[in-house]
Structure formats: C-alpha cells, structure tokens
Amino acid sequence: MKLDTKDLYGDVIGLTGVIGSGKSTVADTLLDYGVPVIKADDLARIVISPEYINYHNILSLLKSKIEIPSGVSFIFNNKIDRSRLSSIIFSDENFRIQLNTIIHPEVQKLFFITKKRISKELKQIVYDIPLLFEGQLQSSFKKIAVVYCDEQVAIERAATRMNISREEVKKRLLCQISIEEKKKAADYLIDNNGSIEDLNKNIQLFIKWLKMQE
C-alpha cells in the first residue's frame, strides 16, 4: 500500500524541533491535556520490534539490502538492537538513507491506521515527527509547529538528558536541519528557552491555536 503524504498528513499538524529543543516534553504535555498526539518514534519502535507483523520481512531486508559499516552490528540473536541502530544512524549518512527507505513506509502504514482510529474523535491531530523537514514533508502537512530554543540551550539539555558529550550532541545536530532554518519555516513557534513553567504556559497558548485549526 503506497500512501500519498499529502493525503496522509494534509489534515494534521506536524510537531518538530531538534535534539534537545524539548519536542518530546511538549508532545507528552499535550497528551496530558487530552490533545491527540501520534509519535513517529513510538511507531518506529513498534516497527522494529519482534511483535510487529512485518518484522521478519524488515529484518531480512536490513540484512540483505543495507550496507552495514565495517565492524559494526545492530542485530543480536536475530533481533534489532535499537540503541546500536541509533548510534549508527547518527554516524553514517548512507546507512541512514538506506534504513529510511525500509522503515518509513512501515511507519506511514501504522500512522494511517492510528490516525483513522483517532479521527473519529473529530479533534485536531498532532504528529510528533523529528525529521519532518529532513524528510522534505513540510508541504504535506496542514500546518507545522516547531519547538524552539537556542542551539546552545539544546546542546546542554541533550547532553544532560542523554548522558552523552556535548561534542556528540553537536555531531547529531549536524544530521538535522538547523533549528533556525526550521524556525523560519514554522507556522507556529513554541518557545522553550525558559523554565518548565514558561513552557507549560506556551503549550497552553499552542492548544488555543490548535483549536482554531479544527
């Protein structure tokens, strides 16, 4: 089943940002407020789990069609190691591109099924998708909201949260379009340069804007 991205996302608000900008915190808070949010990371996690219906097909494709960097493996006991997979994604662009061609169609199928179920509530759906711009999907969404903070703030937060070095965070940020570029292309900005209390107030303002989009 090939899905047209405009048909898939055309009535959806895309939520994105960069590592450390606070996108996941915003998505979780929106869920707490009862806003329908679908998370791309959650869908991807399902797709590469052994319980997923097409898992064995995906595993076979990964083994046969992807050029794995020399000396690196992300498959143990015939299962995909998600943490090792993530580390390779941020260190090898060719691997990342090849992986996306296999994983993304499955994620889109799951999104379609989940959206169809949620749409019965007749509420504005938000899709938390980290690589919205990188996937060149900006024209497919109804509107795009970007969780924004200064790059240095994002670096400090990500290094602390993920327990990795600032240099590693910078390396991963280089794999993404800059937060300033995303800011320019946003229909709505959720500022996250301040405290968690400030962010909560900004999220509530965003929810009011969301209701205007229904």
Give how many domains the chain has, as a whole number. 2
The residue from 62, 85, 112 where one domain ends is: 112
Contact 213, 142 (CB under 8 A): yes
**What's at 15, amino acid-wise?**
L
- Taking only the tens place, the pLDDT of each residue in 123-146 is 799 999 999 999 999 999 999 999
Structure tokens at 8: 């898939």
129 and 30 share a domain? yes
Quote the CA–CA distance of 12 and 195 in Å, as a whole number.
28
45 and 31 share a domain? no
Q: Is residue 93 part of a domain?
A: yes
Q: pTM for this one?
A: 0.90
103 and 182 share a domain? no
66 and 102 share a domain? yes
pLDDT number for residue 196: 95
% the chain with pLDDT above 90: 65
Helices (H), 135-178: 151-162, 166-173
Domain region containing 211: 1-36+123-214
Quote the CA–CA distance of 169 and 155 in Å, as a whole number.
6
Strands in the chain per DSSP E = 13-16, 37-39, 75-76, 79-80, 126-128, 143-148, 188-191
Decide the pairing of beta strands 37-39 and 126-128.
parallel
Quote the CA–CA distance of 197 and 189 in Å, as a whole number.
17
Quote the CA–CA distance of 178 and 127 in Å, as a whole number.
20
The residue from 112, 137, 152 where one domain ends is: 112
Q: Is residue 179 part of a domain?
A: yes
Specify the higher pLDDT residue, 7 or 2. Answer: 7
Other CB atoms within 10 Å distance of the CB of residue 84: 14
pLDDT number for residue 134: 92
The residue from 77, 112, 147 where one domain ends is: 112
59 and 45 share a domain? yes
What are the Cα distances from residue 80, in Å, to 11, 51, 77, 87, 109?
A: 33, 12, 8, 13, 20
28 and 47 share a domain? no
Quote the CA–CA distance of 158 and 167 in Å, as a whole number.
11
Element (H, E) at 87: helix 82-89
pLDDT number for residue 62: 78
Q: Is residue 118 part of a domain?
A: no
Structure tokens at 156: 């400090």
For the purposes of burial, counting CB atoms within 10 Å of the CB of 1, is it exposed (0-12), middle (13-18) or buried (19 or more)? exposed
pLDDT number for residue 122: 62
204 and 131 share a domain? yes
The residue length of the chain stands at 214
**What's at 168, amino acid-wise?**
E
73 and 132 share a domain? no
32 and 51 share a domain? no
